[in-house]
Structure 1
Amino acid sequence: MFRLIAACFALVVVPFSLPASAEGFLSRLLNKPVPGGVAVLPVGDGAEAPRAFFQDKPVMVIREDGNRWIAIVGVPLTAKGSQQVQVQDATGTHQVGFEIGAKRYPEQHIRLKNDRMVNPLPEDNVRIEREMAAQARAYRTFTPGAPSNLMLDKPVNGPLSSAFGLRRFFNGEERAPHSGLDFAVPAGTPVKAPAAGRVILTGNLFFNGNTVFIDHGQGLISMVCHLSRIDVKEGDEVARGAVVGAVGSTGRATGPHMHWNVSLNDVRVDPAIFIGAFKR
C-alpha cells in the first residue's frame, strides 16, 4: 500500500544538515540519530504535507514552529551507517540522507524462578506466536492525525530501574534487547496515558502480562505492560493523563514495576528521548 514506485521518479539524495541555530524545539528534543533513537529531518516547506517512508514504512511528518515540515523517524537498534528517507511531495520523489551515530548498550543479567519464561513449552509457543502477531499488527498501525504532544508524560512517577536497549540474559541465556524503560514503583500505582490516543490492543500476554497499546497518531504507539489490572478496552479514546491500568508484576517479571515501550514507524525506540532523559 505504501510502497514507492521508484522507477516513476528521479531520486536525488539530499544529505541532512541543519545548523543548530535553525533547529526548532522538537528537533532539539527528539533528534538523537543513534541505534534505537530518533532522526528528525527537514522534508520541505510547501503548503501540503509531504509523505515520507523509511524502510518501506510510513513515517510521521508534522509542522515544526508553524513553518517547515519535519519527518520524525524511528531508528532500529540494528541500524548503522548512512540511511535514507524517501520523501514524496508536489515536485516528485527524493531522498533525504542521514548518518547513524554510535551508541553502546550494556548487558543485564536476570534470574527467573519460572524457567518457562526463558524456555517456553511447545503449547506456550503456540500462544506466544499468536500474541506476537497481534502485537506486530498493533505496532504497524498508522493513523493520519498528528499526536496531541511529542514531549510525552511518564506513565508513572518513579525512578528508572532498567534502561532501553540493554542486552538481556535470562538465567544465562541471551534474549531480545530491552525494548523500553522500566520504572520501579509499587504495585497498584496508577498508570497514565503519556499522550492522548486510542486503545488498539489489550490483554494478558505470556511475556508482557496485562498489556495496553495506545495509538497516538502517525505511527507513534505506546505500550505499557506487567500491569496488575487493565482499566480500558480496545477502541477507547483516552486523554493525556488518563488512567489505563495499575502497576503489577504479571508476565515475565521479577517484581512490581511498569514497562513502557514507544514505537515509531514500527521501530521500538528509547522512550527517554520523549521525556528529556536521553543519555548518550
Structure 2
Amino acid sequence: MYRLFKTSHRRCAIAAALALLAWLAALPAAAGELPRARSVPGGVAVVELGPALVAPRASVDGVPVLVSGRPGGWVAVVGIPLEAAAGALYLDVRGEDAPPRRLEVAVAPVRYAEQRLRVAPGKVDLSPEDLARHERERLRSAEVISTWSAREPATLRMLQPVPGRRSGSFGLRRVFNEQPRKPHSGMDIAAPTGTPVVAAAAGRVIDTGDYFFNGNTVWLDHGSGLLSMYCHLSAIDVRPGEEVAAGARIGAVGATGRVTGPHLHWSVMLNRTMVDPALFLADAGRAR
C-alpha cells in the first residue's frame, strides 16, 4: 500500500511539474521593453534562452551579460564590441537545473562613417603631464566600467538625455589633425551650454569627475551591467551614491574636455562594451 501511494505521489508531482512548465512557457518572455536588436559590431544581440524557474546566468569571455525576462522565457541582451570582427561570438549559459551550454551569436559586418576634425595640437599630441593624467583616468574608468549590480533594469528603453540635433553618431571613425583615432563610442547631441541633461533611465550615480578628454562626466548604473555616461558637462548636479529617476536632471550641457563646441556626449554600455545608444531610444523618448 505504501509503495502504491509513493508511486502515485511521484506521478502527481511529475504531472504538476509538467503543467507548471507548460504554464511558464505561455508567459511573455520579457519583463521590460528591450532595446532594438542589431547584431553588428557596436550593436546589441537579443538571444532567447528559453523558460526556467530561475533566471540563467550568461557571459561572454567571462564577462557577465544582462539577462531579462520571466520564468516563461528569458533572453540575454548582449553588447557586441565595436572592435569585434564579423562572424560570431559565443555566449556561455548556466542554469540552476540544466547543464552548461554555449550558444553561437552571429555578428554581421557593418561600415561606419568617417569624420575629419581640426583641434588644438595639445588635445591630440599630449604633453607628458597630460599623458600621465590620462593614464590615471583610464585606470579609474576601467574600475567604473567593471561595475555590476544584481538588480535588473525596469526597462531597457531610454530617454534621449537632452533635446537637440545629433552632431556625431555612434561608430563614426574620427581623424584628428590627420591622426586616426578609435571609432566614436557614443552619441553626440548639439545643444547650447547650460541646457539641462537628464538621466536616460533610472539608476545610481557611480562616478562623477573632470576627465582630460571627456571633461565633466557622470556615470549611472542601471543594473546588470547596463551603464550610461554623460560627458563635457558645464555643471554636475548629482553625487556618487545618489539614486536618480528617469528624466531627473543630472547636469547641464557644456564644452569641457576635448571638444569643438558645446554638446553632450552620451554613451551606453552593456557587459563592459560601448554600444549604440540609438538602439535604446523609445519612440517618443526624448527629453523635454
TM range (shorter): 0.7 to 0.9
Q: Give the whole-Å Cα distance in 1 for the aligned partners of 2:72 and 2:186.
A: 32
Structural mapping, 1:27-106, within 5 Å:
29-63=35-69, 67-79=72-84, 80-89=86-95, 90-106=97-113
Q: Give the whole-Å Cα distance in 2 for the aligned partners of 1:115 and 1:234.
A: 33
Q: Which residue of 255, 276, 280 maps to 1:270? A: 276
Q: Which residue of 244, 260, 265 maps to 1:254? A: 260
Partner of residue 17, structure 1: none
Work out whether 1:245 is the aligned partner of 2:251: yes
The superposition leaves residues 176-197 of structure 1 with CA deviations (integer Å, 9 ceiling, x where unpaired) of 1100000011110000001111
Work out whether 1:164 is the aligned partner of 2:170: yes
Q: 2:158 is paired with a residue of what secondary structure? A: coil
The gaps in structure 2 that reach 5 residues or longer are 1-27, 284-288
Would the aligned equivalents of 1:43 and 1:96 in 2 still touch at CA under 8 Å?
Answer: no
Taking structure 2 as the reference length, the TM-score comes to 0.85
How far is the alpha carbon of 1:26 from its aligned partner? 4.4
Q: Give the whole-Å Cα distance in 2 for the aligned partners of 1:109 and 1:250.
A: 20
Would the aligned equivalents of 2:162 and 2:189 in 1 still touch at CA under 8 Å?
Answer: yes
How far is the alpha carbon of 1:276 from its aligned partner? 5.2
For the pair shown, the structure with the greater C-alpha radius of gyration is 2
How far is the alpha carbon of 1:23 from its aligned partner? 8.4
The superposition leaves residues 81-134 of structure 1 with CA deviations (integer Å, 9 ceiling, x where unpaired) of 02210000021210111110121001111111x211101101111110111111
Structural mapping, 1:206-217, within 5 Å:
206-217=212-223
Partner of residue 109, structure 1: 116
The gaps in structure 1 that reach 5 residues or longer are 1-21
Taking structure 1 as the reference length, the TM-score comes to 0.87
Q: Which amino acid aligns with 1:98?
A: V
Q: Give the whole-Å Cα distance in 2 for the aligned partners of 1:33 and 1:140.
A: 23
The superposition leaves residues 237-267 of structure 1 with CA deviations (integer Å, 9 ceiling, x where unpaired) of 1111111100000000011000000000000
Cα RMSD for the two superposed structures: 1.6
The superposition leaves residues 131-173 of structure 1 with CA deviations (integer Å, 9 ceiling, x where unpaired) of 1111111111111101122110010111111100111111111
Q: Give the whole-Å Cα distance in 1 for the aligned partners of 2:114 and 2:93.
A: 37
Would the aligned equivalents of 1:33 and 1:100 in 2 still touch at CA under 8 Å?
Answer: yes
Would the aligned equivalents of 2:93 and 2:101 in 1 still touch at CA under 8 Å?
Answer: yes
Q: Which amino acid aligns with 1:102?
A: P
Q: Give the whole-Å Cα distance in 2 for the aligned partners of 1:104 and 1:154.
A: 24
Would the aligned equivalents of 2:68 and 2:75 in 1 still touch at CA under 8 Å?
Answer: yes
How far is the alpha carbon of 1:30 from its aligned partner? 2.3
Partner of residue 122, structure 1: 128
Q: Give the whole-Å Cα distance in 1 for the aligned partners of 2:165 and 2:143.
A: 31
Q: Which amino acid aligns with 2:81?
A: P
Would the aligned equivalents of 2:161 and 2:198 in 1 still touch at CA under 8 Å?
Answer: yes
Q: 1:76 is paired with a residue of what secondary structure? A: coil
Would the aligned equivalents of 1:207 and 1:252 in 2 still touch at CA under 8 Å?
Answer: yes
**Which deviates the most, 29-38 or 261-270?**
29-38
Q: Give the whole-Å Cα distance in 2 for the aligned partners of 1:26 and 1:149.
A: 5
Would the aligned equivalents of 1:192 and 1:243 in 2 still touch at CA under 8 Å?
Answer: yes
Would the aligned equivalents of 1:229 and 1:248 in 2 still touch at CA under 8 Å?
Answer: yes
Q: Which amino acid aligns with 2:46?
A: V
Moved over 6 A (4+): 22-25
